[in-house]
């Protein structure tokens, strides 16, 4: 009976230590939502962006994506985000979908503008750039690579603008 009690105490200690580790890691990595004011942006594509994704400026997390939906009128992706209340974003700033690396996750990257006035709560970014389809670009490069080379012509040249082509004789 004594062995069973000791094993139970050791198991409980392991669980407490694991819980403390996860709590520390969660707080240390800035995971979770950021409370602040809400902003919106409309993108053509938001591949890889999900609710909870980071909003960063100069590589620093300043907010979190809180919602995404399809705008029924423009058929663009409407993204809602919460930005820290101590961060004031100029109203001529732009936002784009960026990736951590070639295989990394996606986030929203804010490029600050130069205006003195800031986006107010509920404001919308005026300039956006959606995600880039890397697989599609790679496919175009691989399979349509010959399109960039000049095509050989049959020796004929196009007439100069405003002139007519000389008549060709038929042998």
List residues bridging with 118 in a β-sheet: 90
Segments forming the whole domain that contains residue 130 = 32-141
Q: Is residue 90 part of a domain?
A: yes
User: Residue 146 — φ and ψ, nearest 5°?
Assistant: -75, -15
Residue 156 domain flag: no
Structure tokens at 104: 């990394």
On whether both 85 and 125 belong to a single domain, the answer is yes
| Residue 152 maps to a domain | no
Do 2 and 38 reside in the same domain of the chain? no
Which pLDDT tens digit goes with each residue over 109-140? 999 999 999 999 999 999 999 888 777 878 88
Whether residue 66 sits in one domain with residue 23: no
Contacts 24+ apart (CB under 8 A), 63-66: 63/34, 63/36, 63/39, 63/87, 64/32, 64/33, 64/34, 65/108, 66/33, 66/38
Per-residue pLDDT band at 143 (split at 50, 70, 90): confident
Residue 96 lies in a domain: yes
Q: Residue 21: what pLDDT?
A: 85
What's the pLDDT tens digit per position in 56-86?
Answer: 999 999 999 999 999 999 999 999 999 999 9
Q: If you average pLDDT over every residue of the chain, what do you get?
A: 83
CB contact at 8 A, 48 and 131: yes
Q: Are residues 100 and 135 both part of a single domain?
A: yes
Domain count of the chain? 2
Nearest to 67 by CA among 99, 113, 26, 108: 108
């Amino acid at each position: 009976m004594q062995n069973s009690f000791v094993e139970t105490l050791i198991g409980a200690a392991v669980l407490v230590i694991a819980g403390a580790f996860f709590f520390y890691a969660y707080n240390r990595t800035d995971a979770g939502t950021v409370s602040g004011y809400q902003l919106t942006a409309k993108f053509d594509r938001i591949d890889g962006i999900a609710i909870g994704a980071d909003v960063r400026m100069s590589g620093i997390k300043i907010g979190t994506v809180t919602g995404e939906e399809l705008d029924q009128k423009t058929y663009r992706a409407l993204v809602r985000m919460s930005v820290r209340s101590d961060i004031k974003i100029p109203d001529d700033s732009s936002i784009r979908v960026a990736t951590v690396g070639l295989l990394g996750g996606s986030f929203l990257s804010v490029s600050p503008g130069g205006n003195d006035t800031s986006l107010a709560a509920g404001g919308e970014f005026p300039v956006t750039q959606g995600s880039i389809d890397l697989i599609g670009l790679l496919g175009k490069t691989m399979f349509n690579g010959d399109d960039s080379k000049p095509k050989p012509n049959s020796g004929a040249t196009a007439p100069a603008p405003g002139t007519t082509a000389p008549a060709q004789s038929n042998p």
